[in-house]
């Protein structure tokens, strides 16, 4: 009577195991750098007499506040890899991400306009890449994939889009800059 059936469960592909390390170094390192600069200015203000008179004493709260800022950044980074994934289906690409705010993006092949691969400094150091997929109304990315995987996925997606739409996508959009 009713031919409706539940869809097959989605099998999510994960980014590289090197991706969390890259995130820790890039986000944690950047955050730590700016917090060290903030604390360094506090020490300078304390020891330079003119600034000390103008600004008052060294803010003793600066180091604990720095930790309060650093810990959530590292916590979110630690769990981000676990909540990221992608799947390449017959008719669409699905991308999920988010630790606090979770989102799943579905991009039908017929809507995809271009596909870009990128590698920043940290990506190149770890042999990883970022795959950006753009439609007219949105864009999404799959970050932390092995460079070889991106080099295989990008032409596959472009070919799949060409099969479905009858139009070929430009091939010159692979950028090795962040």
Domain count, the chain: 2
**Domain region containing 66:** 19-80
Mean pLDDT (whole number) for 128-156: 94
Q: What is the pLDDT of residue 178?
A: 46
pLDDT at 2 over 70: no
Residue ending a domain, choose from 51, 80, 109: 80
Residue ending a domain, choose from 37, 63, 80: 80
For the purposes of burial, counting CB atoms within 10 Å of the CB of 142, is it exposed (0-12), middle (13-18) or buried (19 or more)? Answer: buried
Q: Which residue from 98, 62, 63 is spatially nearest to 83, judged by alpha carbons?
A: 98
Q: Is residue 6 domain-resident? A: no
User: In this structure, are 44 and 100 located in the same domain?
Assistant: no
User: In this structure, are 66 and 104 located in the same domain?
Assistant: no
Q: What's the chain's average pLDDT?
A: 83
CA distances from 60 to 33, 56, 64, 103 (A): 19, 11, 8, 40
Q: Which residue from 83, 84, 82, 95 is spatially nearest to 139, judged by alpha carbons?
A: 95
Confidence of residue 71 (pLDDT cuts 50, 70, 90): confident
Q: How far apart are CA 147 and CA 124, in angstroms?
A: 9
Q: What is the pLDDT of residue 113?
A: 92
Query: Is residue 134 within a helix (H) or strand (E), and if so which, with residue range?
Result: strand 128-135
pTM above 0.85, yes or no: no
Mean pLDDT (whole number) for 30-38: 80
Of 106 and 10, the structure prediction assigns the larger pLDDT to 106
User: In this structure, are 140 and 103 located in the same domain?
Assistant: yes
User: In this structure, are 62 and 93 located in the same domain?
Assistant: no
pLDDT at 67 over 60: yes
User: In this structure, are 92 and 153 located in the same domain?
Assistant: yes
Q: Is residue 1 domain-resident? A: no
pLDDT at 3 over 60: yes
Q: What is the pLDDT of residue 41?
A: 74
């Amino acid at each position: 009577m009713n031919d409706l059936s539940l869809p097959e469960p989605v099998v999510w592909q994960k980014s590289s195991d090197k991706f969390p390390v890259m995130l820790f170094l890039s986000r944690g390192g950047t955050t730590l750098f700016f917090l060290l600069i903030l604390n360094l200015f506090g020490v300078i203000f304390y020891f330079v007499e003119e600034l000390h008179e103008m600004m008052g004493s060294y803010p003793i709260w600066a180091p604990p506040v720095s930790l309060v800022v650093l810990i959530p950044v590292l916590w979110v980074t630690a769990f981000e890899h676990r909540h990221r994934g992608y799947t390449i289906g017959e008719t669409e690409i699905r991308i999920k991400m988010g630790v606090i705010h979770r989102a799943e993006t579905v991009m039908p092949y017929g809507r995809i306009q271009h596909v870009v691969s990128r590698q920043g400094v940290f990506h190149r150091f770890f042999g990883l890449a970022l795959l950006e997929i753009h439609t007219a109304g949105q864009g999404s990315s799959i970050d932390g994939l092995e460079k070889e995987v991106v080099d295989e996925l990008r032409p596959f997606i472009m070919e799949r889009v060409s099969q479905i739409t009858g139009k070929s996508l430009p091939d010159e959009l692979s950028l090795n800059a962040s």
